Structure 1
Amino acid sequence: MRRPVLLDSDAPSAAWLDALADLARRAAAVEGSVDAALGLLAPAETLAPLPGTGTTVRLWELLATLGAADLTAARVVEPHLDALAILAQAGLDHPGSAGSAGASWGVYAAEGSGLRLDARPEGGGWRLAGTKPWCSLAAQLDRAVVTAHTGPGTRRAFAVDLRHAGVRPGRGTWASRGLTAVDSTAVEFTDVPAVPVGGDNWYLQRSGFAWGGIGVAAVWFGGAVGVARRLAAAARNREPDQIALMLLGQTDTALHAARRVLAAAAADVDAARADGPDGALLAGQVRAVVADAAEQVLRLAGHGLGPGPLTGEEEYARRVADLQVYLRQHHAERDSAALGRALLTAGGEPW
């Protein structure tokens, strides 16, 4: 679980391997603790390149490595790095009050039935009011990129200080058995000052939105690798029968396809082949392949390992529960339907 997860066949530098291995060791020590995961933000930020700047594969290797080591660590680090990428894509650098550099960041862009966050211009600036659902770790983070409605059919991203008195995270609603420490609740905003990040609808229309979605898939891939490593360890600890060998072979097939898809997508991002609608289509394809592979690995490992590790090994049981929750960021059949619509809209058949 402490080994780096690599995506491409090109030999990375020894320095990169050493840095990634050190990060993996530190992530494995997180053991589901958010406080410990927050300690990884600075080293991860130092190592992580911005997506689309020539070494996207290294960014996704870092995220996959975190996912294989500890999914709570990955769940804390991934949105922080995504927020910094969003700010960079908007031409901003840690906007807000003095001392925002080095802050911990989240990204809150979900919408929920009956809940709405509005932004209004006031005195040359902007203010947010309303309720935003699914705000993970809002009580523990310093700042966030938050989307809010600016008018009929328009939304804009804003950078906000989560320590402002007008920000009130909800409590006691996170009943999850996976990612148990990554509390996700609705947050109420009352007259909270905000810094615009891009224009109306820029957040969803930028190419980086798709790239960030693939970065999440890299975490899923890493989580599946962690599960698969436990299955492989069981096969080495005793003479495997034909069924055990078959399960291991099928696991490798699923992970190989996911790894190659991620590596190819990273190359497309860096070569400007994943901009605009092309990037959105690619993200849908990659996320579907990786999510399917991860779910298949969970099933195969469950068949191969039986109830023992799920009931007697804290690390493995937590990993499985965490990955099952994390994968629900993929909307399964609904995302497949969206992909099908995107293919028809594009007017072509890539196969």
Structure 2
Amino acid sequence: MNATQDPGRPRAVRISSTPDDLARLQALLEAAEAGVGDVPALLALATEAGTVTPKPGSGGTAFLWETLASVTAVDTAAGRILEPHLDAAAILAQAGAETGGPDVPCEGTWGVFAAEAPGLKLEATDSGAGTVLSGAKPWCSIAAQLDHAVITAHLPDGGRAAFAVDLHAAGVSFEDPAWSSLGLREIPSGTVHFDAVPAVPLGGAGWYYRRPGFAWGGMGVAACWLGGAVAVARSYKDGLQKAADGGREPDQLALAHLGEIDRTLTGLIHTLARTAARIDAGELSGPGAWSEALRVRGSVATAVERIQALVSQNLGPGPLAFDARYGKRMADLALYVRQHHAMRDDAQLGALTFKGDHPW
């Protein structure tokens, strides 16, 4: 933050853009702050942002990630709503450009549902009049409040593919998610049931996972996690400054932890800046893209957990008990970062490294 910036206004997270470019985010960030806890308002914000935010690989990947990080730094749930809508917009654009498939406009609000769970299966079949989806899909966040989704389903031959589906169509029903989480309370994830619901194919079998945009989208989620970590770090630094202004200077332990947080976040920002530039230069459009995504996601997820631990240890139970904004941020971020599969993702990266896919 520069010396002339109002400390009460939401602050953008800079990866590599100029201050003038980042200033374009201010209205979005202020709207996100005003919409905290108001899902319809945040969905409207996501729809508006989707019309002006660059797609990954289009030359503005760093600004896309700055948008995601900056909104998440305002409120983790706001970033959690924005990210899948922007990802869906990118997937629809990629499907049209890369496969010559139908041009599906990104109108209304969108989610991306690709998770699987034991005992639940969504299947795509040819009805004679087109593709229909039948079965159940788990982990569909705020599905009942969305208009459309990009969704993956199993094919008769055993593969999987992506489809665009209207969530208002006949045959779609929403199971009560019984969401008991204290984190991301306004974004419950539940099971959606489909009974012969028409769907538009997006690419063929396996295209959704093979496209470079799959890795790019995974790194967009990591940009959100980074924004959440930056918010935690800022609250910690601001707390130390407030105490110092009251005559209680931070001790060496508090400063050491602040120093570790600084070098961790700075290193991640440099990594994301370099990676965004490589994506825009066309250097991460092949098989190595997913390895890089695993590196980025693993590094950011580890840093988030470390920064949360350091800040919690230093600030103690007080803010968790009496600061609702801080408590919400910590709970939201802890749940959000669990989208990372920890050692299982490292094992996947290790397997790729073992095959020789590494830069060292």
TM-score under structure 1 length normalisation: 0.94
Q: Does 1:268 align with 2:275?
A: no
Separation in 2 of the partners of 1:6 and 1:145? 30
* Unpaired runs of at least 5, structure 1: none
Q: Please point out which of 176, 195, 200 is paired with 1:195.
A: 200
Q: How far does the alpha carbon of each residue in 1:234-261 deviate from its partner, in whole angstroms, 9 at most, with x for none? A: 1111221111111111111111121111
Q: Please point out which of 10, 18, 22 is paired with 1:11.
A: 18
1:94: how far off?
A: 6.2
State the match for 2:94 in structure 1.
89
Identity percentage of aligned residues: 49
Separation in 2 of the partners of 1:148 and 1:172? 20
The alpha-carbon distance between structure 1 residues 101 and 331, as it changes in their structure 2 partners (threshold 3 A), is closer
State the match for 1:350 in structure 2.
359
State the match for 2:72 in structure 1.
67
Deviating runs (4+, > 6 A) in structure 1? none
1:277: how far off?
A: 1.5
1:325: how far off?
A: 0.3
User: What one-letter code is carried by the residue in structure 2 that aligns with 1:45?
Assistant: G
Q: Is the 8 A contact 1:68 1:222 kept in 2?
A: yes
Q: Does 1:23 align with 2:28?
A: yes
User: What one-letter code is carried by the residue in structure 2 that aligns with 1:322?
Assistant: D
Q: Is the 8 A contact 1:254 1:296 kept in 2?
A: no
Q: Does 1:329 align with 2:339?
A: yes
Q: Please point out which of 254, 258, 263 is paired with 1:253.
A: 263
Separation in 2 of the partners of 1:76 and 1:143? 14
Q: How far does the alpha carbon of each residue in 1:10-47 deviate from its partner, in whole angstroms, 9 at most, with x for none? A: 524x2x32321221111122223312211211331133
1:349: how far off?
A: 4.2
State the match for 1:156 in structure 2.
161
Q: Is the 8 A contact 1:30 1:37 kept in 2?
A: yes
The alpha-carbon distance between structure 1 residues 93 and 224, as it changes in their structure 2 partners (threshold 3 A), is farther
State the match for 1:2 in structure 2.
10
Q: Does 1:215 align with 2:220?
A: yes
Q: Does 1:295 align with 2:305?
A: yes
Q: How far does the alpha carbon of each residue in 1:296-331 deviate from its partner, in whole angstroms, 9 at most, with x for none? A: 110111012111111111111000000000000000
RMSD: 1.5
User: What one-letter code is carried by the residue in structure 2 that aligns with 1:50?
Assistant: K
Q: Is the 8 A contact 1:84 1:94 kept in 2?
A: no
Separation in 2 of the partners of 1:201 and 1:106? 19
Count residues in correspondence: 343
Q: Is the 8 A contact 1:31 1:315 kept in 2?
A: no
User: What one-letter code is carried by the residue in structure 1 that aligns with 2:119?
Assistant: G
User: What one-letter code is carried by the residue in structure 2 that aligns with 1:42?
Assistant: T
Q: Please point out which of 330, 338, 350 is paired with 2:348.
A: 338
Q: Please point out which of 226, 232, 235 is paired with 1:227.
A: 232
